[in-house]
Amino acid sequence: MTVPAATLSASGGISGSAPNTWRVNALLWNPYALQFEPITYETTSNGSYSLTGLPPGEYIVKYVPPAAGTPASYWKKTIRIPQSRPVVVKPGQTTPGISEPGMSLTRESQRVAGTNRYDTSALMSSLGFHEPETVFIANSTGFADGLSGAPAAATLGAPLLLTAVDALSTHVTEELQRLTPRKVVILGGPTSVSDDVEDEIATAVPDAEITRIAGTDRYDTSRKLARFAFAGYDTHTAYMVIGSDFPDGIAAGSSAAAQHAPVILDNGSTSLDSATSTLIQELGIERIVIVGSSIPTAKETTLRGLAGVTSVIRIAGANRYETSAQLITFAFPQGADTALITNGTDYVDALGGITLAAEWDVPVFITSPSCMPSAIGGKLSGLRVTEFYILGNNNTLSSAMEDFTIC
């Protein structure tokens, strides 16, 4: 018997299981529009669903949870269409077993650790970068230059390598030679990265142009970095963090890098200095994100009155970990299936991690050294992260982190 074409075109199906009250969408590939388009959906009942009357073709199955703020996912266990697995529907046949386990996702962890902080930064660079045009070099014993330097490097597609004041490590030298950059940017003056180190860089990559960015203090250096990386760049957002400590800065770095935004260090005074005001207007900043509670509200009021600034928001949790979680929600509304985890009580591994995360388009979470604070664990679950990279050795982040131990 010949089956009518109309019947053939809508006689397939997809079935499986998903948490109760989740909506399951079938998206069919349209070869003319070169995109997946929604065909039908069903809300699960008793943990199962069955989509019927589907035309034959290649589908993506999308699972939409009822809770606001929780991202949708796609079969199989991803939150991004490019990483999803297509489901083929044939005429008159139902494809079974296309199931979403909900929050019970299998998490995999990998540790990224060298024998010391310098080697770890080189290892992170090797994971994410191949022949970048630019490489940034920063002193590992001070955080100030790196807080602004890491997002600047990320925007330029550059890794950030760490050094001691007076000598490059062997692995960092080897990584520079592997990368063969055309430009090397040294953060800070000779008291941060010595002239001897500059000479070692010149020997390692003799064809590279070496630039040193150094101001009269950390705040001036921060402004110089913003101009270096973002002048002429189409960015309308800037992050502002206190420059006298690092927790807010390393929490902000990943979000700023994801949005190609500078991190400007603030001196904590109640008044806005003219140099920072001028920088904001030079860069055409329209939205300012104040991170943490250390920057006075009086300065927030002044920022709101700057010409061209249309929005000033403050992101501040009860502690550094809640602030980190809130920043990730702000910068990664689409979710992420991979994340980097770094020690929130130190800054060293975070600096190189920010540039690696930007290259992979994933967030960096800060955590306590021995276990994962509930704010971070909850956000990882909410984003549906299934793979995370632990930055640093067991002395930096304990083995309990590999088991996703919540505290």
pLDDT value at 67 more than 70: no
- What is the pLDDT, as a whole number, of residue 4? 35
- Helix residue ranges, H only, 79-143: 117-128
Instruction: Note the pLDDT tens digit of each residue in 95-133.
Output: 988 987 654 445 678 899 989 999 999 999 999 998 899
- What is the pLDDT, as a whole number, of residue 169? 95
| Mean pLDDT, all residues of the chain | 88
pLDDT-above-90 percentage for the chain: 59
pLDDT value at 196 more than 90: yes
pTM for this prediction? 0.75
- What is the pLDDT, as a whole number, of residue 3? 33
Nearest-CA neighbor of 14 among 76, 80, 92, 98? 98
pLDDT tier at 6, thresholds 50, 70, 90: very low
Tell me which H or E stretch contains 277. helix 274-282
Structural domains in the chain, CATH included, are 12-95 (2.60.40.1120), 108-401 (no CATH)
- What is the pLDDT, as a whole number, of residue 204? 97
Sign of the Cα pseudo-torsion (249, 250, 255, 259, in order): positive
- Helix residue ranges, H only, 73-169: 117-128, 144-155
Distant-in-sequence, close-in-space partners of 303: CB < 8 Å, separation ≥ 6: 240, 272, 280, 288, 290, 309, 312
pLDDT tier at 198, thresholds 50, 70, 90: very high
Average of per-residue pLDDT across 162-191: 96
- What is the pLDDT, as a whole number, of residue 99? 86
pLDDT value at 372 more than 90: no
Instruction: Note the pLDDT tens digit of each residue in 264-298.
Output: 999 999 999 999 999 999 999 999 999 999 999 99
Instruction: Note the pLDDT tens digit of each residue in 311-336.
Output: 999 999 999 999 999 999 899 887 77
pLDDT tier at 45, thresholds 50, 70, 90: confident
Pairing outcome for strands 57-64 and 23-30:
antiparallel
Q: How large is the angle between the packed helices 170-179 and 195-204, nearest 10 degrees?
A: 50
What CA–CA distance (Å, rounded) separates 187 from 71? Answer: 38
pLDDT tier at 61, thresholds 50, 70, 90: very high
- What is the pLDDT, as a whole number, of residue 7? 38
